[in-house]
Amino acid sequence: MVKLFKKIKLFKKITLKIVILSIIVVSLLAISGLMTWQNWNNRQKISNLEEQINNIYKGNQQYIKDHPEFLGETPETPETVENPFSINGVIIADKKHPLPKDYNPGENPEAVEHLKELIAAGQKSNDKYASHLVSDYSGFRNYDYQMGVYNEYIAENGKQFADDFSARPGYSEHQTGLAFDLRVAGGTLYRGDDKAYDYYNDWVAQNAHNFGFIVRYRDQWQDSTGYKGEPWHLRYLGQALATEVFKSDKPLEDYLTISGGNYAKN
């Protein structure tokens, strides 16, 4: 009887020890788990903050690049800029991004090949405008040539008109070798279905991306592109990007989230 009593006492002691030990172990596990979670949570917060700071920094860098006057610097000009501005491998020439005066790549052969395919397909289409396309087009223009074009526009129609429809030398997309003006029979520029240049339901506007081109300028995009609508002016981007930009229904500057619009200095 005494033996049994002793055994029960011993058993109770052991059980109590196990229970206390278990509580200690569970508590330790819980504390360390909580600490790990907090640590992870903090690291997550820090990396989110880092990303935000990084984005603000990148945004500022881009802003300063596009608005050098912000730092009291003069904007780049064709005479001062060393390299064409490019983003994600896309060369940009607009009123905020001049090309170096001596940038002279010539006509891009890949773009021309696809332009010829586009013209041939347009001619075969039943579109009442695109079917009149001719194989003659206006492509690469160097700095000096553009100087002549721009001055001719000024002489004929004044400076405002010249700046709306033509580029100052060094600012023309034609100097990239990737821009082309379509013509129709008689040698006039292709205008699609509208003399006011702001309807874009014609065959060229709807199909250019299949050949790697976008119709670069529309009247309603002038705040971004810097130019009034030009249904004849195509820019080569390659089929994948042209299709994305076309589907976005945005001007190229907005699609790439870069500054655009008018010249930095008038």
Least distance in angstroms from the C-beta of 227 to Zn ion = 9
Q: Toward Zn ion, which CB reaches closer, 167 or 245?
A: 167
Q: Is 177 exposed, middle or buried (0-12, 13-18, 19+ CB in 10 A)?
A: buried
Residues from 151 through 180 that contact Zn ion (CB under 5 A): none
**Contact flag: residue 181 with Zn ion (CB under 5 A):** yes
Q: Toward Zn ion, which CB reaches closer, 66 or 236?
A: 236
Residues from 195 through 214 that contact Zn ion (CB under 5 A): none
**Contact flag: residue 191 with Zn ion (CB under 5 A):** no
Which of 191, 233, 245, 252 contacts Zn ion by CB under 5 A? 233
From the list 37-45, 181-189, 240-248, 251-259, the region that binds Zn ion by CB under 5 A is 181-189
From the list 10-18, 72-80, 98-106, 227-235, the region that binds Zn ion by CB under 5 A is 227-235
- Enumerate binding residues for Zn ion (CB under 5 A): 181, 233
